[in-house]
Amino acid sequence: MACATRKRILIVIYYISVLIITFGSGIKLAQASKVESKEINSDCHTRNMTLFAKENYKLGEQLQQWNEAYRLAGNSPVNDEIYDQLFDKWQRRQRCQNLSDVLSEVNISQQSDLIKHPIPHTGLKKLNETEINTWISSRNEIWLQPKIDGVAVSLVYERGRLVSVISRGNGIEGLNWREKANFIPAIPKKITTQEPLLVLQGEIYWKLANHVQEKYGGMNARNKIAGWLMRKISPIQIENDIDIFIWAWPEGHPKYEIQLGRLTELGFASAEKYSHKIENIAQVKQWREHYYRSQMPFATDGIVLKSFPPPKITAWQPSQNSWAIAWKYPLQSVVSEIKDLQFRVGRTGLVSVVSIIEPIEIDSKIVRKVNVGSLNTWKKKDLLVGDQVQVSLAGHGAPKIENVVWRLKKRQYPDTTKLEQFHFLSCLRYSPDCFQQFTARLTWLGKQIKIKGVSEATWRLWVENYGITQLTTWLSPHWQQQLPNTRKTAQFINQLQVAMSQPLGLWLKGFGIPLKQQQIMKIKSLDMIFNSTFLKDINVSKNQKKKLNQWLGEPEIQKLLKILQEVKQTSH
């Protein structure tokens, strides 16, 4: 009886545990679905779905062209991380239109010198840290290697003699570079083997001296080796800077230690040198950091994990590889979409352009906007809302646009003709068109004469709501009385006494006098700036004098100088 009761209790506990696991999994799936849905909705939220569909179709065509260039020639106009990000975006946009998110297979049948791979190239699926942790937990023997940035090939030996060096192509067939191998000492032309047919897969790469991936990036190493291999003219001299890394021996010994030793005997020692048996994610992260930050003789773009033994060669098919995966390095540049363009007129009339982008994360920093530069720089870069840009961090952590990686085909440019009217003497008084430059002038003046506690936002508020029309309106007691009776206002008024007693040179600098700092600070009275002898003594150049005369001739500057004269008399 007691035994039966205990059995029933165990059954109940079992079903409760199943329910808990199922419920928990359901929550995770729902959360994942919610995240994916949010991501898709973000990409697909548009008023003009017809234009959206056309642009994404064109992006798909471009991705296909880049894919073909990479598969056939081993190089591409864009690097892997940019391609992957654009491809992910294209896939999300395809899914929200209920369209296929798979690119067509690369068609290389028109090539006359193609040769079939004896064993197909499978490619690598790229996973993130969480996915890799799951992948590791379901496997027994795992090995790690650097993901060398080169050109993938098959080496085919018949009775020990090299007969083919086949480019990856579409994974099934590729170009035959056998003749080029004669000029690459690192590829053995004869090996000692009893096997009638021996097939190795690996990466031909350009050797680099003390290369640190984190510091130097890829240095275009893949395109360099691809260019050498794709030359129509045969090489004329031996190239000792080219090497090969064997990352797969599909029919090699099932024990990888033995396989690596045998590869070294055959003349491919780098595989044994750069292969590491791992047991957990901590070791994976450690080796990934090592290859990212240490000096290496090659460029890498991540690490590769492989489980052993691999399946039989009948399972080796293009894009069907579950036993080997890649974990790429942290993105050094991230693709984002321009959501808006802001044109800002600065104090001197220079127009700067700021691009508001889809928020991205680079090196743990969230980036929402990027300074493009001047109006002319923006025109040269040809940036529009909807364009996809490559964003990275400059030396001091400021975001910058490296490249436009994809432009909308339909170009609709904003009207910027009004922005051409601003210059170093414009907007010395307020008008609606002058709001930005006039506010920038006030902010600059306040900073020069050391008015503390008044930010650009405060000046902006006072211009909009309290009628500041001149750079010195705020000096008026009548104007000050209009401000709210607050502690901040009282603090500001107290700052006036400090400002009025500031040296004349600081006021002139605040008004934008076109002279250098050391020249300005030698001016002790306003009469001095009209004295040609004094100007000569402080080494005012011909160009400076021309600008100074323009500045002095401006009616609004003349009014400001008159007010300044009164201020200085009052302060004394």
139 and 263, same domain (yes or no): yes
Q: Is 58 in the active site?
A: no
For residues 365 and 397, give the distance between their C-alpha atoms in angstroms, rounded to a whole number: 9
Name the active-site residue from 34, 89, 116, 147.
Answer: 147
Q: Which residues of the chain have pLDDT under 50?
A: 1-7, 9-41
**Given 328, 362, 382, which residue is the final one in a domain?**
328
**Given 363, 393, 420, which residue is the final one in a domain?**
420
324 and 339, same domain (yes or no): no
23 and 162, same domain (yes or no): no
Residue type, 306: K
Residue 563 covered by a domain: yes
Residue 108 covered by a domain: no
- Give residue 99's pLDDT: 85
**Given 302, 328, 354, which residue is the final one in a domain?**
328
Tens of pLDDT, residues 527-567 = 999 999 999 999 999 999 999 999 999 999 999 999 999 88
Tens of pLDDT, residues 146-174 = 999 999 999 999 999 999 999 998 899 99
First and final CA of the chain: distance in angstroms? Answer: 108
234 and 310, same domain (yes or no): yes
Residue type, 344: R
- Give residue 571's pLDDT: 65
Residue 340 covered by a domain: yes
Percent helix, percent strand, percent coil in the chain, to nearest 5: 45, 20, 35
Q: How far apart, in Å, are the Cα atoms of 4 and each of 8, 10, 14, 17, 20?
A: 6, 10, 15, 20, 24
392 and 531, same domain (yes or no): no
Residue 184 covered by a domain: yes
Residue 133 covered by a domain: yes
363 and 443, same domain (yes or no): no
Tokens representing 136?
């590791």
- Give residue 42's pLDDT: 57
Q: How far apart, in Å, are the Cα atoms of 99 and each of 38, 53, 102, 406?
A: 18, 10, 9, 21
Tens of pLDDT, residues 195-222 = 999 999 999 999 999 999 998 888 888 8
35 and 55, same domain (yes or no): no
* Virtual torsion, Cα 50, 53, 54, 59, nearest 10 deg: 160
127 and 265, same domain (yes or no): yes
For residues 394 and 400, give the distance between their C-alpha atoms in angstroms, rounded to a whole number: 6
For residues 21 and 77, give the distance between their C-alpha atoms in angstroms, rounded to a whole number: 47
Tokens representing 516?
């250098």
416 and 476, same domain (yes or no): no
Q: Which domain holds residue 32?
A: 1-41
23 and 53, same domain (yes or no): no
For residues 474 and 470, give the distance between their C-alpha atoms in angstroms, rounded to a whole number: 8
Residue 109 covered by a domain: no
Residue 91 covered by a domain: yes
By the 10 Å C-beta count (0-12 exposed, 13-18 middle, 19+ buried), 174 is classed as buried
Q: How many domains is the chain built from? A: 5
Residue 392 covered by a domain: yes
214 and 363, same domain (yes or no): no
414 and 435, same domain (yes or no): no
